[in-house]
Amino acid sequence: MRDTAAVVVTYNRKELLQSCIRCLLREKRPCDILIIDNGSTDGTEEMLQPMIVSGEIRYHNTGENLGGAGGFAEGMKLALKLGYQYIWLMDDDTEVREDALSALFEADRRLQGNYGFLSGVAYFRKTDELCSMNIQRAGRHTKVSDYASPFVPVVMATFVSFFVKAETVRTFGLPIREFFIWADDLEYSRRISRKLPCYMVPGSRADHMMNSNEKVGIEQESSDRLWRYRCLYRNERYLYRREGIAGSAYLLLRVLYHSVKVLTRAKSGKTEKLGTIWRSYRDGRKFRPQIEFPE
C-alpha cells in the first residue's frame, strides 16, 4: 500500500472516469486509487472489474447516490480506515497531469508539513484557460491571482485536486454529507483555513473536463434542475454565517443579485426560480448539520 490515496467520486460517467483513472496511473509519484461509486447504473462497476481484479484500483459502491458531499465523506472515511497518510480528492471528470502529485509533495516538503490543505490548479479541458468554477479564493470573496509563486495562500478551494493529510481530517472531521452537492468543498476548505494556513500550488495542474467554462446561473436553468439550487443557497447560508456580519451581508447581496438576474434574464419560470432562491435561503437559517468525525 502506498502512502497516498487518490479518492475519486463517480456517478454514471464511466467514460470520464476511465480517463481520470488512466491519468492517475501515469503519475510520476504513484498513488493508490480509491473509486467511490455513488450507485452508478451505467455499467461503471462492470467496466472497472478488470482493474479491481488486478489491484490497479480499490472500488467501493455506496449503493445509492450520496451526492458529491456524501461520496467524498465516504471516501475520506474509508481512506483513513485503510491507513493512508495523505488523501487526494477529485471528481471523475478530472484529468491530473503526470507531475501533479509530485508538485504537491514538493510543496509539502518546502512547507515542512505546515499547512491545512494544498490545492492544485484546474484548467479547462487541456487548455491554458483557468476553469472558472475551480479558481481558489484568496479571501472570503476574492479570487487568487498569483500563479507565479511556488505556493499561494488561499482560504477556499474546490475538490478538484484537493490534497490533505490524514491527521488534518481526524482533527477537522469530514465534509458534511447533508450538503449533498455544492459548497461542500468551500465549507470544508474554509473550516480548515480558519485554523491553519492553506495554499494553492500552481505547479500542480489538472484538467477539468467540463462541457463549458461558462458559469450557468439559476436564471438559465430548466425546472427539472432547480433542486440543485435548493442545496446551493441553503448550503451557502450555512457557510457564510460563520463569517460573521460581513459574510452574512455578502450572501444577502449575492441572493439579491441572483434574484435580479432571474427577473431580467430568465425566459421562463421566474416565479418558481425566485421561490427556489428565497425558500432555500430561508431554510439555511435553520440548517445546522452535525460534523462527522472519523473513528
The yes-or-no verdict on residue 140 having pLDDT over 90 is no
CATH class of 4-208: alpha beta
Choose the weakest-confidence range: 138-142, 143-147, 272-276: 138-142
Look at the block and give the residue holding cell 491554458: 128
The yes-or-no verdict on residue 295 having pLDDT over 90 is no
Predicted pLDDT at 141: 83
Mean local confidence (pLDDT), 184-193: 98
- Every domain of the chain and the residues it spans: 4-208, 218-286
Q: At what angle do helices 244-265 and 270-283 cross, to 10 degrees?
A: 170
266 C-beta neighbours (distance < 10 Å), count? 18
| Span 83-98, pLDDT tens digits | 999 999 999 999 999 9
| Span 230-239, pLDDT tens digits | 999 999 999 9
The one-character DSSP state at 124 is E
Predicted pLDDT at 258: 97
Predicted pLDDT at 20: 98
Maximum Cα interatomic distance, the chain, rounded to a whole number of Å:
55
